Amino acid sequence: DPARVVHLVELAVDFARAHLKPEGALVAKVFHGSGYDELVQLFRANFRVVKPMKPKSSRDKSAENFLVGIGLKPQA
């Protein structure tokens, strides 16, 4: 369920904001489709470096992707 995935990733980002060291990283497995662009924007709003990655081991037809966020941005 895409809505649940989005919610879980939002919770992970909130947890990272509370507990991750400033130079730390968060990796989330996501899927292209509903909510993907929202998650990329969420990562860009919270991390200095955001890298969407598709592992070589993933099938070409798979919507599987990983978002890597590195270095928390200071909270406004």
Q: How far apart are CA 34 and CA 13, in angstroms?
A: 18
Supply the pLDDT for residue 47: 98
Catalytic residue among 29, 54, 56, 73: 29
Per-residue model confidence as pLDDT tens digits over 11-31: 999 999 999 999 999 999 999
pLDDT band at 67 (very low <50, low <70, confident <90, very high): very high
Predicted TM-score (pTM) of the model is 0.89
pLDDT at 35 over 80: yes
61 is annotated as an active-site residue: no
List, for residues 42-65, the tens digit of each pLDDT value: 999 999 999 999 888 888 888 889
pLDDT reading at 37 higher than 90: yes
Q: Alpha-carbon distance 65 to 33, whole Å?
A: 11
